[in-house]
Amino acid sequence: MEATYIRRKADGRINIKSGSKIEQVTRWTIILLTLLTIMAFMFFDYSGLDLGTAISETVYNLKIMFLEPALTHFSLGEAFYQVGITLGLAFLATIIGAVIAFFLALLAANNLSNKWTSKTVRIFVAFIRAVPTVLWVLIFAIAAGLGSEAAILGMLFHSIAYLVKAFSEAFEEVDKGIIEALRATGSSWWHIVTRAVLPSTLTYLLSWTFLRFEINFSVAVAMGAAAGAGGIGFELFMASGFYFDLREVGFITYAILLIAIVLEVLSTRLKNRYFPASAGN
C-alpha cells in the first residue's frame, strides 16, 4: 500500500503527496538506467552481424556445453582436487576474516566503543568495502605475485570489511539493559563481551560468516583465473579461453553449480535451525 504524506505550507494550505522521496529517487533511477541501456544498444556497431547465424551458433554451443559435458584435459579425480582448492581458498579467507572482523566489530559497535574509535573503524572498513575484491587481489598481486597468496589476501580484505559491518550491527542490537546491568556490577569490558554480547549474537555471527563463505566461493572461482590462484576457476578459464573445449566448460559449470547448491542447502538448514520463525515467512 502506497504511503500518503501530508505537509502544511507556510500560508496554511495543506499539500498531500503520495509516496516518499526514496521511492521517487528509486523510480527515476530505474527510468534513467533503462534509457541509458537503450541508448547503449543504439550506439553499438552492428555491421557484419548476421543475427540468424549468431542465434543458431549460440544455441549449438549451449547444446554442446550443457547436454554433452565431458572431461578432456584432466581426470575426474583432478576435478575434485581443483574444487577442493577453490573451497580451501574460500574457507581460509572466510575463517581468518571472521576472526579479525570480530575484534574490529567490537571497536566499531557504538554500544561497546567510544564515538571516535567507532567512526574511525567504520570509515576504514567502508573504504575497503568500496573497492572491488578483484582490485584488491590485483593490488596484492603486485607485492606477493600472482597466485593463491594474492587471492586469499584480496578476499580476506573484503571479507573483513563486509563482516565488520554485519557483526557490529548485530552487537548494537543487544539489549542495552543487560549491558548497563553488567556495567553497574563493575564488570569489565571483556566480561561484558563474553557474558552478554557473544551469547546473544552467536547465531547471527555464524549465519553471516556462512553467507560470506558462499560469496567467497564464487569469488574464488573468478580469482582462480584472474589471479592465477588455481582451482576450478583456472581450469574453467583454460577450457574456455585456451582450449575452447565447450564440453569441458559445461562439466566445470555443472560442478560449480553443484557446490553452490550444496552450500545453499547447508545455509538453509542453518537458517531453519537458528531462525525458524524467519524461515517460515
- Give tens-digit pLDDT for 159-200: 999 999 999 999 988 888 888 888 888 888 888 888 888 888
pLDDT of residue 8: 53
User: In terms of C-beta density within 10 A (0-12 exposed, 13-18 middle, 19 or more buried), how is residue 187 classed?
Assistant: middle
pLDDT of residue 222: 83
pLDDT of residue 2: 47
pLDDT of residue 140: 82
If phi over 0 gives left and psi between -120 and 50 gives alpha, with beta otherwise, what is residue 147? left
pLDDT of residue 189: 86
Annotate 230-260 with b (16+ C-beta within 10 A) or e (fewer).
Answer: bbbbbbbbbbbeeeebbbbbbbbbebbeebe
Do residues 137 and 154 make contact, with C-beta atoms less than 8 angstroms apart?
A: yes
Distance, in Å, from the CA atom of 170 to the CA atom of 105, rounded to the nearest integer, reads 9
pLDDT of residue 159: 93
pLDDT of residue 19: 55
pLDDT of residue 53: 85
Domains located in the chain, CATH noted:
4-65 (no CATH), 75-280 (1.10.3720.10)
| Residue spans of the chain under pLDDT 50 | 1-3, 5, 277-281
pLDDT of residue 12: 54
pLDDT of residue 278: 45
pLDDT of residue 1: 43
User: In terms of C-beta density within 10 A (0-12 exposed, 13-18 middle, 19 or more buried), how is residue 203 classed?
Assistant: middle
